[in-house]
Amino acid sequence: MWMHTLSRTMTADHPGRAQAPVGLLSRPGQRRWSWVTGMLGLALIVCLGTVARAADLASDIDRLISASELGSSRVAYSVVDIDSGTTLASRNDRLQMLPASNMKLLTSGAALLVLGQDFAFETTLHLSADGKTLFVTGSGDPALADPDLLQEMGLDVEDFINRWVSDVAAHPSADTIRTVLVDGRVFEAKRVHPSWELDDLDKAYGAEVCGFNFYRNILQVYAQPARQVGLAPEVFVMPDVTRIIPFRNNAQTADAGGAPAPAGVWISRTRGENEFTLYGHVKTPQRAEITVSNPGNLMAQVLADRLKRHGLTIESARLATAQDPKPEDGTTVIGTIVRTPLPTVLRRCNTDSENLYAEALLKRIGYAVTGQPGSWVNGGAIVRLVVSKKLGPALSTDVTISDGSGLSRDNRVTARLLSAWLREMYREESIRDVYVDSMAQAGETGTLSNRFRTVELDGRVAAKSGYLSGVSCLSGYVIEPNGTAASFSILVNNIPATGKNAISISTVKRFHERLVDLIDKQLSAEDRLAEVDESSVEQPTGRLGG
């Protein structure tokens, strides 16, 4: 059903530009012919001018590449006019490249098309019919208790947990609860992508992906210097798990005014386990982050701990398995259902480049379409299907989908596919604003907040950056004030990182920004020419056809 609806949406004609108004002709023959030939001449001038300026743009970009000192880096790009679909400039645009986080543009766009902009993730507390089991049912929401979103609401994670505890404790059957069961079976049991690098798995951007996510599946550790040098610093962990799992504090307080010493703290975690050790020297307040293993199971223990402290008798807490019943018939909803609207998830995915969000979207659309637990396999297949429906089967062969975020080095995409995808998403008027607004705005928000400071743009740039070792990409839109727009994709791979020929990522980023600036100048020049040309054509005063 969803594909039928999607197919109808995708084939809808994009409204063209408004036609010039035509009034009554006082001399229908001569003046009508004069106006028609004038308009034909204008169209020819604009067409030839556009072709010439597109050639100029390609030449300008070629000169930019030569002057940017990119060394042996491999560059692919494609620039497409949104209105006509004309490729304004390109190089190596059919070459399959690593997209890094530009992969999120496909994942988030497919999620928007499949789930719809009114979709919301929901997390619910249920009490079993016999009152003995508290179910915490997840829907794959990556934003549940996200520390950044909580901060926007003036809350911290303990506030969030305490609200759940209060709701449960206030229920008439609270005293009968013996088991806390966290249900994340909306997604597959596999939480770590097989091609992610081991060194990434303890970093926040490599967090596990679950049907029940909480606090971005990380711990945040705050260390304050002790009053005496050499003593262990005072440590606060959010959420507080120190009564539940092993947490060793091997850090030391250092002399803030003494001889230089390695400063800062870091955390290690036993692989596959929730056993943590804090290291480092603390001179001033420090914060560190680390991922957790099996977040749903850990959260079950955290909630059980808080309920016990509130006086309830909890005997077990764990993650639900395939053998456990589902909280359907005969269960009672406790408290308020926690909802996260899809646009919020898209913003965190694209503006802030949160990998967990992209992976949760990928798995969620796999679940939505197949009815089976969302996985990297079925989610990736749905993204490919949506791309094929939007762009055609031939162009869909330009992409290899391994994960949703671009963290996997097995993803591949071409610049022509990304620029074509962006164009088609822009032409979907019902979802255009949600999609474009989900991206970082040049010089203003997210991963682009500190970029584009050395160029003066006439239009708006909404784009997604991407970075892996040896990879730096930027894809998105240039939108002029009058609505003229182009989609672009710039993919740079094989960036030498070491040796005498090493190229800094900042050099590649400057190249991105200067190329986008050339696109912006091209579009704004065309706008000015069109205004001049239209003002020079004699407007008719009558209705064509007499």
- Separation in Å, CA 311 to CA 124, 127, 188, 429: 22, 18, 34, 54
Asked whether residue 379 is assigned to any structural domain, the reply reads: no
| Overall number of domains in the chain | 2
Among 289, 308, 341, identify where a domain stops. 341
Q: What is the mean pLDDT of the chain?
A: 90
pLDDT at 15: 40
Final residue belonging to a domain, choices 341, 376, 402: 341
Run of H or E residues at 277 = strand 276-282
Cis bond before residue 239 (omega within 30° of 0): yes
pLDDT of residue 51: 58
φ, ψ for residue 184 (rounded to 5)? -120, 30
Type of residue found at 418: L
Structure tokens at 422: 């962006």
Instruction: Kindly state whether residues 77 and 225 are assigned to the same domain.
Output: no
pTM: 0.88
As a whole number, mean pLDDT of residues 86-103 equals 98
pLDDT of the residue at 49 = 52
**pLDDT given for residue 518 in this prediction:** 98
Give the strand pairing for 485-493 and 74-81: antiparallel
**Are residue 479 and residue 526 in the same domain, yes or no?**
yes
pLDDT band at 330 (very low <50, low <70, confident <90, very high): confident
- Please indicate, yes or no, whether residues 191 and 329 belong to a single structural domain of this protein: yes
8-state DSSP, 199 = G
What pLDDT was estimated at residue 262? 62
Residue 418 lies in a domain: no
pLDDT tens string 397-418: 999 999 999 999 999 999 999 9
The answer to whether position 16 is within a domain reads no
Q: Which residues pair with 125 in a beta bridge?
A: 136, 334
Q: Where in the sequence is the domain holding 443, given as residue range(s)? A: 53-97+439-538
Task: List the one residue out of 519, 512, 520 whose CA is nearest residue 466.
Answer: 512
Asked if residue 354 belongs to a domain, the reply is no
Q: How confident is the model at residue 200 (pLDDT cuts 50, 70, 90)?
A: very high
Is 250 within the bounds of a domain? yes
Domain co-membership, 180 together with 292 = yes
Inform me whether the pLDDT recorded for 467 exceeds 70. yes
- Residue 358 backbone dihedrals phi, psi, to 5 degrees: -65, -40
Q: Are residues 88 and 128 in the same domain?
A: no
Q: Flag whether 7 is in a domain.
A: no
Q: How far apart are CA 111 and CA 228, in angstroms?
A: 53
Same domain for 85 and 219?
no
pLDDT tens by residue, 299-329:
999 999 999 999 999 999 999 999 998 887 7
**pLDDT at res. 175:** 96
pLDDT of residue 328: 75
Pair 325, 471 in one domain? no
The residue out of 278, 308, 341 marking a domain boundary is 341
Q: Tens digits of per-residue pLDDT, 95-116?
A: 999 999 999 999 999 999 999 9
129 within some domain: yes
Q: Are residues 93 and 236 in the same domain?
A: no
Q: Tell me, yes or no, whether 218 and 86 share the same domain.
A: no
User: Comparing 53-57, 173-177, 210-214, which segment has the lowest mean pLDDT?
Assistant: 53-57
CATH assignment at residue 451 = 3.40.710.10
Residues 60 and 147 in one domain: no
> Is residue 433 over pLDDT 80?
yes
Q: Give me the pLDDT at residue 331, please.
A: 85
Is 140 in the same domain as 266? yes
Please tell me whether residues 233 and 324 are part of one structural domain.
Answer: yes
- Mean pLDDT, residues 12-37: 43
Return the percentage of the chain with pLDDT > 90, whole number. 82
Q: Which two tokens stand for residue 192?
A: 């770590």
What are φ and ψ of residue 234, in 5° steps?
-75, 135
Predicted confidence (pLDDT) at residue 93 exceeds the cutoff of 70:
yes
Residue 496 domain-assigned? Answer: yes
